[in-house]
Amino acid sequence: MTTLTPSVAPIAESDDHSIDGSEGLAASREAFKMSFNSVEVDHALLIKQMQAIVDILLAQKQFAEALNEIEGLKNLAASHKKTKFAMLEMKGRIKQVGARSGFRSRATKKYTTKRVKKP
C-alpha cells in the first residue's frame, strides 16, 4: 500500500459527504490535483477522489461540470486500463442520473425551429 501525504488522507479516507458542497468540492479538487501530480500515487486513490468530486457535482445537479471533471482522467486513462474503465463507468452514471433530470449530454444548443431565409 502506498503512503498518503497528510493533505490527501482526510479526503481519501472519508466517505462522509456532509461537508458544505462548495467547500467539499474545492477540497476534493485540490486533493485530486495533488495526487494527480504525484508520481507514486495509487491509481485507486485517484479514482476514489474523482468519484468524490463527481458525487458532489451530481448532488448539486451540475452534470456538464461533472463530465468536464471526468476529462481530467483522460490522460491517465490512456496508460492505465482500470482508470479507463472507472472513467467510463462514471461517465455513464453521470449521463444516467442527468437524463432523469432532463440533461442531454449531446445537446450543444437549445433546439429551435429553423427559420427560412427570405430572398
Number of domains in the chain: 1
Q: Do the domain assignments include residue 116?
A: no
Q: Is the dihedral of CA 77, 82, 87, 89 positive or negative?
A: positive
Closest by Cα among 25, 92, 85, 88 to 52: 25
Q: pTM (2 decimals)?
A: 0.60
Is residue 115 classed exposed, middle or buried when 0-12, 13-18 and 19+ CB atoms within 10 A define those classes?
Answer: exposed
Residue 108 lies in a domain: no
Say if residues 35 and 11 touch (Cβ distance below 8 Å).
no
Is 37 contained in some domain?
yes
**Domain-embedded: residue 70:** yes
Q: Which domain holds residue 81?
A: 9-100
Question: Tens digits of per-residue pLDDT, 106-117?
Answer: 655 555 556 677
Percent of the chain whose pLDDT exceeds 70: 66
Would you say residue 57 lies in a domain?
yes
In a domain, 109, yes or no: no
Distance (Å, whole) CA 99 – CA 83: 24
pLDDT band at 105 (very low <50, low <70, confident <90, very high): low
Distance between CA atoms of residues 102 and 62, nearest Å: 12
Q: How many CB atoms lie within 10 A of CB 57?
A: 22
pLDDT (tens digit per residue) in 67-92: 888 887 787 777 778 888 888 898 88
Phi, psi dihedrals of residue 38, rounded to the nearest 5°: -80, 135
For residue 105, is it within any domain? Answer: no
Does a structural domain hold residue 84?
Answer: yes
